[in-house]
A and B are shown apart, each in its own frame.
Chain A
Amino acid sequence: MALRITRQASLASDTAQEAFVQIWQNARHFDPARGSAEAWMTSLTRYRALDLVRRAGPALSPLEDEPDLGAYDKLDALETDADGRALRQCLERLEPSRRRLVTMAFVEGFSHAELAAQFVIPLGTIKSSIRRSLASLRECLGG
């Protein structure tokens, strides 16, 4: 995950270590009432990666093995529990290109601006599309 977002092995290693250390130090403060451990650890790892990559600026080398765009349509991996199944169902209600923007933002850590550049779509269009997708996900998932 950290590598996906940072797209540089050295940054990913820093991220993974940072995340481990933070998880280690904070695990006793983890409150299951606020969410699952998976959500907590996923978030922690992602925020570290996003901080690093945003700090490093836009001039990042591409992934050595370019991500296969089709991978963002394969949501089978979500099926391992009820939360994942619910998310998949709600994602599949989105129009495919909008769904892909959401999954790519999450998995790759692309900002609005990076998504706009990647797909050659105006920034405003990307922003409103993601905004609508999130609103639809929130309504579909509740909670």
Chain B
Amino acid sequence: MSGSLPEDQAGLYVLGALSAEEMRAVRVAAGQDPALAVEVAAWERRLAPLARIVPEAALPASLWPRLEARLDNAGGSAAPAEIIQLSARQPRGSRPLPAVAYWRAAAVGAMALAASLAAVLVLRAPPKAAQFALVLPHRPGESGWLVEIGDRGELHVRAGAALALAADRDYELWALAEGAARPVPLGLMPVAGTAVLTADRLPTKKYQLLVSLEPKGGSPTGLPTGPVMFAGDVVTR
């Protein structure tokens, strides 16, 4: 804890109760004092769920072109060219929202997009298929897969960057239909690059894709034997 600041300044900073000068002081101090930075991060983690009190809303489609323009200008070498639009988050029927609802939606959407932005950075291209899923870790941060469902029910899988996997393990893909008790196996996932999985047993109703950690070669039982580490809803563009 920084000697020059009151003891609970990290919590007050994250809570948002400080004045502009006090906020600046905490920021400067945290840049020089790793213990304070850790304390701030701990408070961010403790209080983050409070953001859920603000109701989640859809992002209006018209926000995207403006954001893309901003990102193109701001991104430099780091920025991929395109953003995946989350069809599932679009408002049904795309009614124009009143101004207040619009910006509340936009601001809250910034958080709703937590999972997808991380994925976008590694996947770098929008899906082309009518149906697709972003299969992401439960606590998204790094990477996952973009799974596109082709016309013949085949799955085009693209791995994000840096998927870690022990040499004696495989990631296995499963489809879990709404209301179903058991998932059906769809095949082993690539940890890098792309793969096409031929699935003859895709659910006919709404379903989720899950990825579990399995022994090399996949689950010997036909059901997941390891933890389900990634998941994503199949959405229709």
Contacts and interface: CB of A to CB of B under 8 A. Distances in A.
Given A17-B67, A45-B107, A50 B52 contact: no
Interface string A99-143: 000110111011111010000000000000011001101100101
Interface residues of A, number: 73
Nearest to B47: A106
A55 B71 CA distance: 24
Contacts of B17: 105, 110-112, 115, 130
B15 A106 contact: yes
Contacts of A95: none
Given A1-B51, A1-B54, A13 B106 contact: yes
Contacts of A34: 41
A104 to B, nearest CB: 10
Which secondary structure characterizes the binding site on chain B?
helix
Interface centre among A43, A55, A109, A141 (most CB of B within 10 A): A43
Interface size class of B (residues with CB under 8 A): 35 or more
B74 A45 contact: no
Contacts of B20: 51, 54-55
A80 interface: yes
A75 B63 CA distance: 30
B28 interface: no
Interface string A43-86: 10111011100110000000011000001101101101101100
Contact of B53 (A3, A78, A81, A105): A78
Contacts of B121: 24, 27-28
B32 interface: no
Interface in A12-60: 12-13, 15-17, 19-21, 23-25, 27-28, 30-32, 34-43, 45-47, 49-51, 54-55
Interface of B: 8, 11-12, 14-20, 23, 41-42, 44-55, 63, 66-67, 70-71, 74-75, 78-79, 99-100, 102-104, 106-111, 113-115, 117-118, 121, 139-142
